[in-house]
Structure 1
Amino acid sequence: METTELRLSDKQERSIAHSTAWLNVWEGSVRSGKTIASLLRWLMYVVTAPRGGQLVVVGKTYDTVARNVFGPLQDPSIVGPVVAKLVSYTRGASVAWVLGRQVEVITANDAKAEARLRGLTGAGAYVDEMTLLPKEFFKRLIDRMSVPGALIFGTTNPDNPGHWLKKEWLNRADELGIRTWHFTLDDNPVLSAEYVARMKAAFTGLWYRRYILGHWVQSEGAIYEMFDAARHVVDELPAMTRWPCDAIDYGTVNPFADLLIGLGSDQRLYVASEYRHDSRTARRQMTDAEYSAARRDWLQAQGVRPDFTVVDPSAASFIEQLHRDNTPGVVPAENTVLDGIRTVASLFAADRLRIHRSCAGLIDELPGYSWDDEAAEKGEDKPIKQDDHSCDALRYGVRTTEALWRPHIPMMLEVAA
């Protein structure tokens, strides 16, 4: 395999040289160099892997596999021009070719994913973002690596210390014959000091401890502990260069919350206005048609037509009502809860998200928006489902329209393994 000018740290080189166990795991902070080391080791393994079985690459979705695995493997600056040409993969395909070997691509996005392993006789596997896989899927994958000499290589960012991967596998590494390597941001020799400083500034609290320090720590306390009303709540708005969306958390008995989000000329996102109806307080429930009309009047009064209307994906009837009313740009919200929370937290930490003082419901909810301690004890990161309606609308809007605003917001970085 052709060598490149890619610089590797001593830790990366040691992990490549000594990853000879049946299961080898690179874990730690984002952008720490663990993925590059593991992929180079995977390439070496593909050349020598036993025949008579299938090689597989596993990830949460086809998009994450394409981005995290095959993107680097097809990058000449990482693997060299000759090797890059010998890696063939099309995004969304179930088969790839790596150095002349056929490789199955298997996704594990839900509990039904386990069925995709049926009939597999594994000769080796590369697993991307291990903590995101279903527990039973991972166990079945291990069971399927039945060809003598089959090895598994995988990466993960830290999660809750009660996560099944940490409790049942990594904590028992010596007992089970597993090799693990822990990486931090400072272990990556190719990152500039400026980039590292920006990364460290972009995270705070739980996300800093996990994604920068690489610690497996439990979620507890306030979710947006970096939120400071004196800093993030404003009385005046700058000129807006774009209105990415209004974002809706739907409720009939519970409050209905709609937030108008704009991109300011000062390169910040602003929650500029809030429409909120609490049927308990008002002592009157509203129909889907009434909510649609109220939303339309609210936006017209401000002279704003947002690019998208982002709606709670569970509100099927209300989405249908909006379509009947010819509302443009209606989309179901991206509802990956932790990704949405992390994005909002990073914006608050970098002072790139501010809220107009008129948004009373959101401002009231933010300080009390907290992690569920009972869920955390079970290894799960979940917010307490109470007084969270505007907070949900906020993460819906920010996360779903990220492709629109991210290029215009400084100090916001792509978070990759």
Structure 2
Amino acid sequence: MAAVAEDAVLAERVDAYFAPLASHADLSGTLVVMRGEQPVLVRHYGHADWPARRAHSLATRYSAASVTKSVVAATLVQLERAGTVSLDQPVGHWLEPLADRPGMSLRAVLHHSAGLPRDLPDDFRTGEADVATWLAAHPRRLQAPGKERYSNVGYALLAEVVARASGRPFAEVARDRVLRPAGMSDSQVALETADHFADGALPYTAGPEPEGVMTPVPAPLEIGSSGLVATAPDLARWARTLADGAYPELFVDEDPLGSIDTGQDDNGDYVSVQGTLPGYSANAIAWRDSDLSVAFAGNLFDYPVLRMGKTLRGLLGPTPPAPPPARPQAVPLADAHRARAGRYAHPDFGTIAIAEVPGRGGMTLTMPRQPAYWSFHLTPIADGGLHWRAFGVVFRAGDAGGLLASPAEGGEATPVPAATAAPAP
């Protein structure tokens, strides 16, 4: 870590940035900075189980969400090296229901350019139903290959390819060919989230006072697009494995396979992976020309996790990020807050609906055009405003009875256009 001379300096930076967030229930999870296999900085925030006040540890496991995609890609590379598959084969070579889709290659699916939909329906359960059969039965969900279109469905499909080509469950193949060789002995791919396992952290999202957290609406688990359950050190080991060049085949094209990110900062070229699920987040970064890696694994979906990768790189760089501003003070729910109920056209999120849901702690924001797990608590603040903590956005009453959206990271408030801000029928 050339840009930071002493680990003590890094510890001061980390504490100055994260401790205030944790003190207001805006952060929960484990942070680990490693040099090779040696942790040089470890911090735990919040609780693995909030009601029980169970502490996090380096053995605590978290759902790593889309980090699973990089494991899928590496597993396919291992099978290609063994001569079992070719990334240029059509998916239909292995999955008969899609045999009439010759343009849908494994590589195109890895690149999110196979014309597949983003998500499976809420009632679909991978492991209980067949993704390829479902796609064949819903051809209108498919588009022509070529255009990049992010698809969780695609990686669930690739997990089925791995199982068919190897004759073994995807989780077993990934464990033996990818996770264990990477030293990830405390990690596995599973049909359940981390809270179903020993040492698993329970999931939370931003919630009402005084606790400040609540249980999220769960998302359907799509094995392949998600399913990895890992510790923070294991996530750092996975980023290190990728940065050390164990899978050069993933980096041949301009965009790496497996939803992996690459870039350059003051510490050099880096490789990073990240993922989020309702109640969980995972970020891991490793630099190619050093033995430095960092990972944060969390069990609280709140606005700090949206910038976690950038935050971690900033803390390990020459100029640390400015501490985040304090979030607005919560006040008791009043009629002025209830008056904000209605449907709105938000400039960034599309159609949103605000309603009082007492069983969820008061005012709740949902997205009618999105799955049910897009459900968030809104904290009542002064002057009838509502704070959408999960995305760091403040809604305030506008002159025309609409809403103003103001990012919690700072900046001027941007009015929602009057034509779309008024509550819609």
**TM-score between both structures, scaled by the size of structure 2:** 0.24
TM-score by length of 1: 0.24
Larger radius of gyration: 1
Higher helix share: 1
